[in-house]
Structure 1
Amino acid sequence: MPLLPVNESGHPDFAAAEPDLLIGLAESAELLSHILHDGFSAIGVLHVCTAPGIANGDITATHTVAIGRLMVELAEALAHTQGLSHECRRYTVDYIGDGRVIDDE
């Protein structure tokens, strides 16, 4: 990310970035997306396993609220990560490597 150029408003300038940088960034973002999805899956398993404990009062609602907040933060990270990946892929859709671009003709 530090190598990604920014425009006057401080936002990433994907059009000015090197294609290889964007491809590497997209691949990293996609890996992080997979990890975050796996995290959501693990939280789902945790909910299933702790439901009886919550029902009988062994686990307080405070713990459930904390897990809910974690899910919100993970979802926000996932949204930004996927957006970053999509932007990087959008600007490299016609790039085939070694500085070459697919010609429409």
Structure 2
Amino acid sequence: MQQAGIGITQDLKKLPMLFHHKSRHFSHSTVPYPRVEIAQDLPRQTTGDTSPATLWTSFNWHALTLDGSPEGEFEKLSRESGEDWKELLETLSRT
């Protein structure tokens, strides 16, 4: 089953995006999310006009980061550690 171009097994907490340097906006290749524009360019992660990015979602906050950037690494590590805590808390609640 597919919905809006995303398989049901895809992790919706981490959605691949692209940042377009010339027009300074983030987009997704198949899902018609609203275009997110920013006032300034970001450091290029590639030699082309686009850089890979990630839309991170959760109940508490959302973030758009360039892949390979310090901000992207921070977001990844903070969410991974949160998942570790969730698993630990669930284990403790069963004891």
TM over 0.5: no
Q: TM-score, normalised by structure 2?
A: 0.37
Q: TM-score, normalised by structure 1?
A: 0.34
Higher normalized strand content (fraction of residues)? 2
User: Which one has the largest radius of gyration?
Assistant: 1
Higher normalized helix content (fraction of residues)? 1
* RCO comparison, higher one (Cα < 8 Å, 6+): 1
